[in-house]
Every structure is written in structure tokens, then in C-alpha cells.
Amino acid sequence: MSDPRIAILIPGKIHPRVLEKLGKLFDILTVETGRGPTIERETLSRVRGVACAGGLNAAWIDALPNLEVIANFGVGYDGIDVAHAASKGIVVTNTPDVLNDEVADTAIGLLLNTLRQMPRAENWLRAGNWKPGQSFPLSPFSMKGRHVGLFGLGRIGLEIAKRLEPFKVKISYHTRSRHKDVAYDYFPTLKEMAAAVDTIIAIVPKTAHTHRVIDAEILRLLGPDGVLINVGRGWSVDEDALIAALRDGKLGAAGLDVFYDEPVVPEGLLSLPNATLLPHIASASVPTRNAMADLVAENIIQWFTTGRPVTPVPETPPRSKG
């Protein structure tokens, strides 16, 4: 299928494979990030699909009168005004499953690094500190004997839980409703889980229900030996409370791949030795990003060929074009 009359808009940067695949079939229009819909109206009216990595707001959606499909690069699609798209019958797709393993692997790596301080130990070695009679200080924390509470047990959360099992830690979880088919202990509230566990791994999306829910109280309940790992969204954490808890020893350590206002990382976090910080790399390997890019392209291609995108999000009917 090739139809150069169909224009696909790419606002901002996207993985080159998306451009390469879609460029063979459609007319690709690229615009800079942040630029509002100032393109001439006739061009905008030719746009029937959008492929994006940075989101799409209501103003953009309104400016594209013939838009049918928005394909998001990423499993989290909080950057897209999905409710607005749904109200106009526009389908939104995301990239689930293809990144589950990578994000789960990163979560385990981040947990181990946070507990055992491997990046700091390597930096110490590289700085020439390893001399006869000198050894890197013992890590204050260990994986051994931990009780890990998963905040979120979706597809990625389940993969994280599976990977935790061989570490012989106790595993619990909190989600809004109990999973009937898992044996881990369930806590109906985040607060109850925080009081019972010593480690929280957060893997929840950005929604109205998850805004800064990991607050001073939750961190206090985790306690001085407690550890917070976040591979979901920075939106879920009260960063000021986190900085205060880490600084004052009320929380033991934190490992963060995501931040409230990315790419801005608060100075208070950067200066804390008990914070392990990554630049939102959970899915950022060449093979996984290639798979995500292929799925973005495939969602657009399938929409225009069969009317059935591969991975539509649940909020945006119609799920099928015909």
C-alpha cells in the first residue's frame, strides 16, 4: 500500500525508523517541537495521521480537521489529549509489550544499583582510589531479605515481579483492584503497602489518580531503611518531600529513571549521595527502540490499509475503521 496523498504529520523528533518506514508510503510533514499549528490550512487539512513521541495537545488536534489516527512512540501516552481525541472519534495507539522486558530489566538494575551503589563504586575505582589498604565503603543496603511492594502491576509490573522472584525477596503489590491470578500479597491502599514493605517500585502511568501520591507520608512509612524506585512517571512523586526524606535520613535511598519536569532534575536530588539517577532510559536500547518504532509505523500502516490498528489504547473508539 502506498498513498502519497495521505499526509502524516511528525511534530518534533521521532525515531528514524518511523520516518523511513512511513516515508516510503505516505507524504511526511515534519514540524519543530513546540511549534503551534501555524502551517497553512490547506496543508493541515491533508493530514490524516500523526506519529509523535512528545505528545499532541487539543489545539493541534483541532487544527487537523481530517485527522484519523495518532500513533504514540511509547507505552505511556499521557502527552496526548486522549479524551479530546476520543471525543472526535480519532484513534490513539501506543507501543505496549515490546518494551516490557527492557523496562523490567532496567527496574531491577536500578534497584541493585541503588542498594549496592555500583555506579559510585566504579567512579571511586576510576578516580584512582583503589590502592593497597583502601576499599570502597560497605553498601548500607542489600537486596537480601527485602520486602518489595510493586505500585502498579500491569504488563511491565508483572515482568518486574517475575524478575524479583529469583532474588528470594518477599513481593507484594498495590493496584486499584486485586489481580485474581497472582499469588503476591495485595494491599488495597498505597499507605497500607508502604507500612508493610521496605521497598517500593513504582510503575504507574500519569493519571489524575497518581499525581504526587508518593508523598511525605508514604516515604515516612517506608522508613530509614526504605528504598523508592521509580520507572513509571515522575508525576507520581512529591519530589520536594523525597529530597527532604533522603536528606534527613527518613528514607534510605531512591533510584529514579523519571522526574516530574523532565529533563529538569532538581538540584536537591543531584547533590544527594543516596539518590541514583537515570535520564529516562528504561526502554532506551537499540533493539527495543527499534521495536517501538516499528510498532508506531505499523499502527499507522494498518489503520490506512485494514482499518484496524495493532495496539489502540482503550479510551479511543472506534477501534476499527470499517
What DSSP element (H or E) covers 171?
Answer: strand 170-174
Given 155, 280, 298, 308, the catalytic residue: 280
What DSSP element (H or E) covers 49?
Answer: strand 47-52
Rounded to 5°, angle at Cα 182 from 113 and 151 = 45
Tell me the residue type at 116: R
Task: Report in angstroms how near the CB of residue 76 gets to ligand DGY at its nearest.
Answer: 3
What DSSP element (H or E) covers 29?
Answer: strand 27-31
Task: Report in angstroms how near the CB of residue 292 gets to ligand DGY at its nearest.
Answer: 7
Task: Report in angstroms how near the CB of residue 80 gets to ligand DGY at its nearest.
Answer: 11
70, β-bridge pairs: 50, 92
Q: 10 Å Cβ neighbour count for 69?
A: 23
Q: Which is nearer to ligand DGY, 212 or 280 (CB)?
A: 280
Given 262, 267, 289, 319, the catalytic residue: 262
Q: Which is nearer to ligand DGY, 156 or 190 (CB)?
A: 156
Q: Which is nearer to ligand DGY, 76 or 255 (CB)?
A: 76
Task: Report in angstroms how near the CB of residue 283 gets to ligand DGY at its nearest.
Answer: 4
* 3: phi then psi, degrees, rounded to nearest 5: -140, 90
Task: Report in angstroms how near the CB of residue 203 gets to ligand DGY at its nearest.
Answer: 10
- Assign 284 to helix, strand or coil: coil
Q: Which is nearer to ligand DGY, 11 or 74 (CB)?
A: 74
Instruction: Provide the binding-site residues for ligand DGY, judged by CB under 6 A.
Output: 74-76, 99, 280, 282-283
227, β-bridge pairs: 199, 253
233 annotated active-site: yes
Given 48, 146, 174, 233, the catalytic residue: 233
Q: 10 Å Cβ neighbour count for 15?
A: 18
Q: Which is nearer to ligand DGY, 68 or 257 (CB)?
A: 257
Q: Which is nearer to ligand DGY, 25 or 310 (CB)?
A: 310
CA dist 296 and 305 (Å) reads 15
Q: Are 7 and 48 in contact (CB under 8 A)?
A: yes
Handedness of CA 224, 226, 230, 234 (dihedral sign): negative
Angle, to 10 degrees, between the axis of helix 286-305 and the axis of helix 16-23? 30
Task: Report in angstroms how near the CB of residue 77 gets to ligand DGY at its nearest.
Answer: 8
Using left for φ > 0, alpha for ψ between -120 and 50, and beta otherwise, residue 105 falls in alpha
Task: Report in angstroms how near the CB of residue 159 gets to ligand DGY at its nearest.
Answer: 14
Q: Which is nearer to ligand DGY, 110 or 194 (CB)?
A: 110
Q: Are 296 and 15 in contact (CB under 8 A)?
A: yes
CA dist 83 and 155 (Å) reads 23
262 annotated active-site: yes
Q: Are 195 and 219 in contact (CB under 8 A)?
A: no
- Kindly list the catalytic residues: 233, 262, 280
